[in-house]
Amino acid sequence: MIAEIESAAGRRNARVYELKIVLLGTKPPIWRRLRVPGDANLGWLHAVIQVAMGWTNSHLHHFLTSDARYADPHHIENVGFGDEPDRDEAKARLMQIAPHEGDQFGYEYDFGDSWEHEITVEKILLNEAAAATTALCLDGGCACPPEDCGGIWGYAELLKTLKNPKHPEHKTMKEWLGRPFDAKAFDVAKANLWLRKLKWPRVTEAQLRKVLMGRDDYHE
C-alpha cells in the first residue's frame, strides 16, 4: 500500500517532455514533435518513435548519449560504447538521460541503412493532470522512408526514380513499394490514433507489432 502511494505521488510530480525528432540527412526534413512522459523508459520511447515516425520495427536499434549506448539486450550483441557495455534501455528513463531543456541524444534504427535520428528536448512541462501515460504527436513533416530502401542515399534515389516515369527502374520501384507513396504526407491524427494504443509503462514486441500492423492496414 505504501509503495502504491509513493508511486502515485511520483506520477503526480512527473514531468512531460516535448521532444523534436529529426531524421538526419533528409531534405526536406522528416520530423515529429511529441509529448511524452518524462518517466518513460527508453524501451517505451522506442515504441513511440516507431509508431510516430512510420517505421515497422523490423530492424535493430539503439539510443546514444554522450557517454553511453542503450539497447534492447535481447536483440543486440553487447558490443558496448567504448570500454563500457551497452545498457538496458528498459532500465533507463528519459528524465535520467536528458534532464534539461536543450539536451540532445541520438536514436539509430536499422544498422544497415543507418537511419540516424536527432532527439532534442524542447520543453519540460509540469504534469499537472498526473495522467501522462500516452504519447501525443503535436506536429510533423513528411512521410517516413520505406524500409530497406538503402538509407539516406537510397531514399533520395528512390524519390528521383518515382518522379520520372521514363526512368528504367520506375515500374520496378512502384511494384516494390506495393502501394502509392507520397513523400510529403504525414497524418498527425492517424499517428495519435495508434500512439494511444501503446501500453504503459512497457510495450511487448507482440503488442507493438499489432499496433504497427493496424497502423499500416496490414493483415497476416
Best CA proximity match to 183, nearest among 149, 137, 217, 218: 149
178 φ/ψ angles, rounded to the nearest 5 degrees: 80, -5
**Is the per-residue pLDDT at 2 higher than 50?**
no
Q: What is the pLDDT of residues 21-50, one digit of tens each?
A: 999 999 999 999 999 999 999 999 999 999
Question: Each residue of 3-27: pLDDT tens digit?
Answer: 444 445 555 667 999 999 999 999 9
Instruction: Identify whether the C-beta of residue 117 lies closer than 8 Å to the C-beta of residue 24.
Output: yes
DSSP string, 135-201: -EEEEEESPPPPTTS-HHHHHHHHHHHHH-TTSTTHHHHHHHH-S---TT---HHHHHHHHTTS-SS
Say if residues 179 and 19 touch (Cβ distance below 8 Å): no
* Predicted structure pTM score: 0.91
Rounded CA-CA distance 173/84 in Å is: 42
**Lookup result for grid cell 528512390:** 158
* Residues 88-98: tens digit of each pLDDT: 999 999 999 99
Q: What is the pLDDT of residue 126?
A: 83
Cα 132 to Cα 115: distance, rounded to the nearest angstrom: 28
Task: Please report the domains of the chain, with CATH numbers, ordered by start residue.
Answer: 2-145+183-215 (3.10.290.30)
Task: Report the C-alpha gap between 113 and 79 in whole angstroms.
Answer: 19
pLDDT band of residue 114 (cuts 50, 70, 90) is: very high
Instruction: Report how far residue 150's alpha carbon sits from residue 176's, in angstroms, rounded to the nearest whole number.
Output: 13
Strand 61-64 to strand 15-23: parallel, antiparallel, or no bridges (unpaired)? unpaired
* Residue whose C-alpha is closest to residue 63's, from 104, 17, 11, 7: 104
